[in-house]
Amino acid sequence: MKAISSEVGITNTIIIHVPLSLVWHAWTISERVSQWFAPETVIEAKEGGAFELYFVPGNRTGMNTRGCKIIKMVDQEELQFSWKGPDQFEEIMKN
């Protein structure tokens, strides 16, 4: 039996009252992303650069977004990156 999925989107808007530069750095500098999102990161702040998060320190084989890349980056205006769920959830994420 296969689960039937419909296309559903989730939209959430959050307004953060801080300087744009702080938010930008929180998403584009590995050391900053490690402070709030994932304990280990590989962020190469350029188009085509890595945007990899490792949720379990020292574990590079599971619970990560290995292979994700920055698709588009316009300084302090736009950041697009590919995303995937951790490897062990690959089958679930396909549906």
Query: Is residue 44 exposed (0-12), middle (13-18) or buried (19+ Cβ within 10 Å)?
Result: middle
Q: Which amino acid is at 82?
A: S
C-alpha distances in Å from residue 74, one per residue of 35, 45, 46: 23, 10, 9
Residue pLDDT, tens place only, 51-86? 999 999 888 888 899 999 999 999 999 999 998 877
pLDDT tens digits, residue range 2-49? 555 567 778 888 888 999 999 999 999 999 999 999 999 999 999 999
**pLDDT confidence of residue 1:** 45
DSSP symbol at 87: G
The model carries a pTM of: 0.75
Residue ranges per structural domain of the chain:
20-94
pLDDT tens track for 36-55: 999 999 999 999 999 999 99
